[in-house]
A = this chain, B = another copy of it.
Amino acid sequence: MIRFERVAVIGVGLIGGSFALALKAAGACAQVVGVGRGAENLDVARRRGAIDAVAADAAEAARGADLVLVATPVAQYAGVFAAIGPVLGSRAIVTDAGSTKQDVVAAARRALGARISQFVPAHPIAGAEHSGAAAASAELFGGKRVVLTPLAETAAAAADAVEQAWAACGARPHRMTPEAHDAVFAAVSHLPHLLAYALVHDIATRDDAGLLFGYAASGFRDFTRIASSQPEMWRDICVANRVALLAELDRYAAQLAALRPLVERGDGAELERVFGAARAARERWLKGDFEP
């Protein structure tokens, strides 16, 4: 089992706090130093045993660390990379937990220079209703996928170490390129969020919004659950991954345009075929028939 001496968690929220708790539960690290915006939240993280010490800033946390997890909102990554770059030891490894990867890689390249070989971009596919260190759990990543997108310059040993760290947290690591990652998540995550926000926004801005919401039921509730996601986080994701998201949005608009005449002419046979194919694919997915 891999073991780190000093792990720096930059951004001790749900993800950063859960990573720290999971590594500790696995006996994979000796000490965790945390940094974050809220003193109260860091206090919770310390009381819950996620972190052992609080650093004043990212540079102080990263100094002397053999593993650094960047888990702030992605919009803050450029500043974090710029702060930690100069203090990174030659054997330190940096990873992150951002939902987009090409923009993260670009920011890391700009700020880390030659240290880019020590950076292993990652995206754990896990979340929860609540945020902050109070919601963190050593079990958050259990059985969940984590995508690693090592670069051509990434040291093989660094990628292996990050893979083992996530595996120690209970996650199932997979590797792909940053471009493939952003295309896949544009389709199965970023677009659905945009679609859910769009539906709720459209209804909310009508004169009869009260009447419409008054009759919305459980199907509507589940379909729009992701429209209760953090607006700031999804703003950043949509902007960072706008090229891939735009391609998905155009594909989806074309799909709706293809369904429109079926509805217009009441083509029940073809509608049933489309609905049946979708349902069958979803049932296969629920059974776990699709593995990357």
Q: Which of B202, B212, B290 contacts A214 (CB 8 A)?
A: B290
Contact with B along A149-179 (1 / 0, CB 8 A): 0000000000000000000000000000000
Chain B min CB distance to A104 (Å): 16
Asked if A107 is an interface residue, CB under 8 A from chain B, the answer is no
**Protomer copies:** 2
Contact with B along A245-280 (1 / 0, CB 8 A): 110011111011101100110111001101111111
Which candidate, A10-18, A19-27, A236-244, is the interface stretch facing chain B? A236-244
Which chain B residue shows the least CB distance to A260?
A: B249
- Assess whether B125 is in contact with A217, with CB atoms less than 8 Å apart: yes
Which chain A residues numbered 110 to 155 have a C-beta less than 8 Å away from chain B? 125-127, 144-145, 147
A-side residues, CB < 8 A to B, are 125-127, 144-145, 147, 184-185, 187-189, 191-205, 209-229, 231-232, 234-236, 238-239, 242, 245-246, 249-253, 255-257, 259-260, 263-264, 266-268, 271-272, 274-286, 290-292
